[in-house]
Amino acid sequence: MGYATRSRILEKLAIFQQRNHKTTMPENPNQPKEYDAVLGGDSQPPSNAVVLGGLEGVKRRFASTVESQRILALNDALNYGESGLDLVIQALQDESGGVKWAAYSLLLTKTETKVSIALEKFNPYQFFECLRTFKGHSSDIYCVAIAPDGKTIVSGSLDRTIKVRDLVTGESLHTLHGHSSDIYSVVIAPDGKTIVSCSYDSTIKVWDLVTGESLRTLAGHSLSVYSVAIAPDGKTIVSGSADYTIKVWDLVTGESLRTLAGHSSYVVSVAIALDGKTIVSGSYDKTIKVWNIVTGECLCTLAGHSDDVRSVAIAPDGKTIISGSSDKTIKVRDIHRGKLRTIQGHSDDVRSVAIAPDSKTIVSGSRDNTIKVWDIVTGECKCTLQGHSGAVHSVAITPDGKTIVSGSWDTAIKVWGIR
C-alpha cells in the first residue's frame, strides 16, 4: 500500500477512534448499531457505516483480500465489546504487515490486561524499513540528532559542516559553517531552539536552530572535543575531549564551570541523566565513569569492555546505562548496582547506542554497516536494518519512538520506520 493511501486510512482510523472512545460496550455484539448500514427505508446510510450484520459483518469484511478494507474493518470491530477486541488482538498475528501494524496502533489506546499481555509479545520493529535517504554531506557523517518535536534532523560531518533538515521531506533548512575541522557530535536543546556542536578543532559552538546563526564559541579543551550533551534544563553543557577531561559549561554565558579528570585516555562519549544531576562518560581507556555534575565527584568506575567505549546512553528511567564498544558488544548496567549484562550480535565496532523513550528498547549502529534493535531486558535482537554501505556512526530515535535516524560514513542519512 502506498504511503499516501496508508496515511488516509490512518486518518480515518483516528476519526473512528474518537468515536469509539465515547461508545459503550453493546450487550449484543451481533446486533446492528447506529453506525451500521441498515437495509430498507429511504434514508441513506452514513459514508463510514459498517456493513449490515454487526460483528459478523465486520468479520466478513476482515476476510476481504483488500488490505485497506481489512484495516478499516478492524477499527469497526472495536465497537463490539470483548469479541471485537479479541478480533483486533488476533490480527497481531495476521500475515499482512499492514494489518498487523493497524491492529498494533489501535491496541495502543487500550488498557485491558489482555491487551497489555498481547502487546508485550508483539515486535513492531519487524516492520521497520528505510523510508527516506538524504544526501548532501560530502564526507563521512559522524553524528545525527533529532529535535524534541520530532520534525527536524541535525547532522555533523567530516566535511566541517552541520546540516539542518526537515525529517519528513528532507528539505535542507540550513548549512552551518564555522568549525575549522571535523564535527564529531551535535545535540539539540530541550526547547528545540539551540544546537550545540563540537569538533576536532577543540571548540564547542552554539547555534540558533531556526536562523542558523552562530551564537557563541566555547574554548577550553586543549585537544579535540569528541562529544557534547545538554542537561534537561537546557542550561548546562557537558563535553568530553581527547585531553582526557570532561568539562561542564554554562550554555548561556559560555563559562566553564568545572573540569572533571579521571579517565586515562580520550573521552569520546558523554550523557546526562534526566535528573540533571548525573553524567556518564565513555573512554578509550575501556571504562565508563559516573559523575556528580555539581560537585564533579566521580561516583564510580565501571569496567567490563575489552576495547574502547565508543558510546554511552542513559535510559529515560534514569536507572540503566547502555554502552557500545569496539569490542563489538553492548553492555547494559544498573546505574546504582553496576549489574552487568552483555549483548552480542554485531560483527564489528558498535559506534553508537540510543535508548527508546519506553526504556525497553536499544538501537545500535555499527561499523558492520547495520543498525540493530534490541530488547533491553532479554538482549534479543528484534530486527536488523540494512541499507548503508559504510559504518553507521550515529543513531537517534524520535521522541515518540516510531522513527530511527542514522548517519553513516557512506555520507547518507537514512530515516527508518513503518511505511
| 284 and 327 Cβ atoms separated by less than 8 Å | no
Residue 278: CA count within 13 A, CB half-sphere: 21
Residues forming a β-bridge with 246: 240, 260
Which one of 122, 156, 183 terminates a domain? 122
Q: In what order do the strands lie in the sheet with 214-219?
A: 183-188, 194-199, 203-208, 214-219
Least confident of 9-18, 111-120, 299-308, 402-411: 9-18
Same domain for 371 and 254: yes
Which carries the bigger pLDDT value, residue 403 or residue 2? 403
Same domain for 168 and 112: no
Residue 102 is placed in which grid cell? Answer: 493497524
Same domain for 278 and 234: yes
Same domain for 108 and 138: no
Domain CATH number, residue 136: 2.130.10.10
**pLDDT, the chain, mean:** 88
- For residues 123-141, give the mean pLDDT: 93
CA distance 164 to 27: 54
Cα maximum dimension of the chain: 84
Rounded to 10 deg, the angle between the 3-21 and 67-77 helix axes is 10
- For residues 192-214, give the mean pLDDT: 97
Same domain for 223 and 338: yes
What's the confidence (pLDDT) of residue 348? 98
Q: Mind listing the pLDDT tens digit for each residue in 29-56? A: 445 554 444 444 444 444 344 445 689 9
Least confident of 100-109, 173-182, 274-283, 359-368: 100-109
Residue 98 is placed in which grid cell? Answer: 499492514
CA distance 289 to 262: 8
Q: How confident is the model at residue 97 (pLDDT cuts 50, 70, 90)?
A: confident
Same domain for 359 and 256: yes
User: Which residue, 246, 252, 256, is CA-closest to 225?
Assistant: 246
| 107 and 118 Cβ atoms separated by less than 8 Å | yes
| 335 and 353 Cβ atoms separated by less than 8 Å | no
Is pLDDT at 178 greater than 80 in this prediction? Answer: yes
Neighbours of 109 (CB within 10 A): 11
CA distance 332 to 321: 6
* Buried b or exposed e, range 72-101, using 16+ CB within 10 angstroms: bbbbbbbbbbebbbebbbebbebeeebbbb
Q: How confident is the model at residue 250 (pLDDT cuts 50, 70, 90)?
A: very high
Same domain for 137 and 96: no
Least confident of 14-18, 115-119, 121-125: 14-18
Helices (H) and strands (E) in the chain, counts: 6, 28
| 270 and 278 Cβ atoms separated by less than 8 Å | no
Q: Give all strands (DSSP E) within 303-403, no chain letters.
A: 309-314, 320-325, 329-334, 340-344, 350-355, 361-366, 370-375, 381-386, 392-397
What's the confidence (pLDDT) of residue 401? 87
Is pLDDT at 14 greater than 80 in this prediction? Answer: no
Which one of 67, 102, 122 terminates a domain? 122
| DSSP label of 210 | T
Q: How confident is the model at residue 21 (pLDDT cuts 50, 70, 90)?
A: very low
Same domain for 31 and 9: yes
Same domain for 112 and 163: no
What's the confidence (pLDDT) of residue 339? 74
Number of domains in the chain: 2
What's the confidence (pLDDT) of residue 366? 98
| 403 and 413 Cβ atoms separated by less than 8 Å | no
| 290 and 271 Cβ atoms separated by less than 8 Å | no
CA distance 43 to 357: 49
Which carries the bigger pLDDT value, residue 244 or residue 14? 244
Is pLDDT at 25 greater than 50 in this prediction? Answer: no
What's the confidence (pLDDT) of residue 13? 52
User: Which residue, 57, 55, 50, 49, is CA-closest to 28?
Assistant: 55
Which one of 105, 122, 139 terminates a domain? 122
Same domain for 225 and 135: yes
Q: Mind listing the pLDDT tens digit for each residue in 336-355? A: 776 789 999 999 999 999 99
Domain that holds residue 230: 129-417
Same domain for 192 and 118: no
Same domain for 29 and 171: no
CA distance 92 to 102: 9
- For residues 252-259, give the mean pLDDT: 95
What's the confidence (pLDDT) of residue 120? 85
What's the confidence (pLDDT) of residue 11? 54
CA distance 367 to 264: 25
- For residues 205-222, give the mean pLDDT: 96
